[in-house]
Amino acid sequence: NILGENKGYPFYTVGQRKGLEITFGKPVFVTAISPENNTVMLGDEGDLNRGEALVQRVNLIKYDSIPDALESVVKIRYRDGGTPSTLFNENGGIRVKFTVEAKGVAPGQSAVFYEDDDVLGGGIIQRYTTPF
Question: Mind listing the pLDDT tens digit for each residue in 30-82?
Answer: 888 888 999 988 989 888 888 999 999 999 999 999 999 999 999 998 888 89
pTM for the whole thing? 0.80
- What's the pLDDT band for 130 if we cut at 50, 70, 90? low
Helix, strand or coil for residue 50? Answer: strand
Which residues of 15-48 form beta strands (DSSP E)?
29-34, 39-43
Letter string b/e over residues 57-78, b meaning 16 or more CB atoms within 10 A of that residue's CB: ebeeeeeeebeeebebbbbbee
